[in-house]
Chain A
Amino acid sequence: DSGVTQTPKHLITATGQRVTLRCSPRSGDLSVYWYQQSLDQGLQFLIQYYNGEERAKGNILERFSAQQFPDLHSELNLSSLELGDSALYFCASSVAWDRVSRGELFFGEGSRLTVL
């Protein structure tokens, strides 16, 4: 158990719909990362938050958005879903001080999204 909690574990929805994935980082971790894993694209970095602020953006579509709340949990919102959005979405957290981080990432078990 990594200490990172993701909900829901599985989600099936239809094209055009909107879903929200939730992540609670390990206790004490300020930094949250979101990754998308699909068979053809591998592990793709989406976005990172540190203590409530967006810190880095990767290959995140405009239809997707995220935020980190004051209690440090994070949500990834996926809207206008397409078939190609079907993937495993991982959240990871790390111990991070401002601009200085030597910690590794701890991954949650992922949310498997299926878009029909």
Chain B
Amino acid sequence: AQSVSQHNHHVILSEAASLELGCNYSYGGTVNLFWYVQYPGQHLQLLLKYFSGDPLVKGIKGFEAEFIKSKFSFNLRKPSVQWSDTAEYFCAVKENYGQNFVFGPGTRLSVLP
């Protein structure tokens, strides 16, 4: 069965610091990859997604993620975080032609003003 791990449970950064959140998955076939964000008290929203092509994916709000197939990783990055990025971030994986989305446990990001 597929599984998704996220390296950090809680990350605390100051504004303007750079961010990298790790995500690894276990599945040998072709996958679709997603990062979702959940702001406090809100629902999950899509940040970015990877289906095929350029492994460096750009999403909303200045976020990007890099798919490294050999490492089964899809790490999320942002060069300079803002207080408004405080949220929980979820990595998710889906088989290319499947319908089963598997979510990681989430990483809580706190950005200090």
Contact = CB atoms under 8 A, between A and B. Distances in A.
B99 A56 contact: yes
A44 to B, nearest CB: 9
B71 interface: no
B23 to A, nearest CB: 14
Given A43-B90, A102-B32, A104-B34, A56 B43 contact: no
A107 B34 CA distance: 13
A45 B97 contact: no
A100 interface: yes
Contacts of A2: 43, 45
A83 to B, nearest CB: 22
Contact of B43 (A42, A45, A48, A90): A90
B27 to A, nearest CB: 15
Interface string B23-46: 000000000101010000011111
Interface residues of B, number: 23
B113 interface: no
B111 interface: no
B57 interface: no
Nearest to A4: B43
Interface string A86-116: 0000101010100111101111111000000
Interface residues of A, number: 26
A71 to B, nearest CB: 20
B100 A48 contact: yes
Contacts of A104: 34, 46, 49
Contacts of A100: 97
Nearest to A35: B103
Given A43-B106, A102-B51, A33 B101 contact: yes
12 contacts: A31-B99, A33-B101, A45-B103, A48-B99, A99-B99, A101-B98, A102-B96, A104-B34, A105-B34, A107-B44, A107-B45, A108-B43
